[in-house]
Amino acid sequence: MTGVTVLKCPAAGPVLATVEQSCDVLIADEARIPGSVQDLATFRQWMHSNEFPQRGLIAYLQDCIWVDMSPEELFTHNRVRAAFTAAIGGLLQQTELGEFAGSYVRWSNINAGVSTEPDGMFYTWDMLRSGRLKYVEGLHGGIMELEGALDMALEIVSATSVNKDTVRLRDLYWRAGVTEYWLVDVRANALKFEILRHTPTGYVAVTAQDGWLTSAVFGRAFQLTRRNDPEGNPKYKLESREANQA
């Protein structure tokens, strides 16, 4: 170990650290990346250790480590994720199709060289039974990581994650064989919701029909809507219907 490299960066912004360093990297006095982390395998060893930071998003993205200690914004991120969690969770109460995991659940794919915590992810029981996805137990017991393929991954774009979500993860989710990538951006009064479908050459956006996007994974069509709460702040609802409904 040759010492500690201090990256001059604000705690509210993301940092990319290459995995070629031979020393510890200290991020905004809050997160320390050990110099022993040189690849995905050593990243996952660190991630399952007691030394891994308990807050912030720390992701391994093929050739670098993404660190974002920013707090989560309520109206453009937290409420959006809540809408997707409620809608998909409600659907799965009515079917045995699979399981939806919300944020703060780790997912890794060795072939794509990625380990991150999506805003949401879905996998069918068939995916699990086939062995394409497996549960990974943590250091102190319990399932702390999913490893393998996914049927759907959800990311909600924030000010600090634009490039990560729209470029880096779009490529890595595709390489990992994620069947559908759901990408949402409601910043600056926008209301953008895309379902990106995996093809042999990359993701292709599903064409909306009267504002509805059809998911082959769920066999249903979805629409994201927004209204104001009693205080005038935005709230969101993810509606669904039969895929062939006019």
For 190-246, write each residue's pLDDT tens digit. 899 999 999 999 999 999 999 999 999 999 999 999 999 999 999 999 999 998 765
Tokens 């509805």 map to which residue? Answer: 212
For domain 74-242, say whether CATH 3.90.1570.20 is its number: yes
Q: Look at residue 185 in the predicted model and tell me its pLDDT.
A: 98
pLDDT at 11: 45
The DSSP code sequence of 232-245 is S-EEEEEEEEETT-
The domain locations on the chain are: 4-68, 74-242
Q: What is the DSSP letter of 65?
A: E
pLDDT of res. 9: 40
Q: How confident is the model at residue 21 (pLDDT cuts 50, 70, 90)?
A: low
pLDDT attached to residue 8: 38
pLDDT for the residue 67: 87
Q: What is the pLDDT at residue 124? A: 97
Least confident of 3-12, 84-93, 168-177: 3-12
Backbone φ and ψ of 77, nearest 5°: -135, -60
Asked if 66 and 59 count as a contact pair (C-beta separation under 8 A), the reply is: yes
- pLDDT category at 121 given cuts 50, 70, 90 is very high
pLDDT for res 151: 98
Q: Are 165 and 173 in contact (CB under 8 A)?
A: no
Identify the CA nearest to 74 among candidates 182, 156, 148.
156
Single out the residue of 200, 56, 170 nearest to residue 117, CA to CA.
56
- Using CA atoms, how far apart are residues 51 and 86, in angstroms rounded to an integer? 33
Other beta carbons within 10 angstroms of residue 88's beta carbon come to 24
Q: What is the CA radius of gyration of the chain?
A: 19
CA atoms within a 13 Å half-sphere pointing along the CA-CB vector of 93:
6
Confidence check: pLDDT of 82 > 90 = yes
pTM across the whole model? 0.90
What is the identity of the amino acid at 130?
S
**CA-closest candidate to residue 124, choices 137, 114, 133, 111:** 133
Average pLDDT, the chain: 89
pLDDT for residue 180 is more than 60? yes
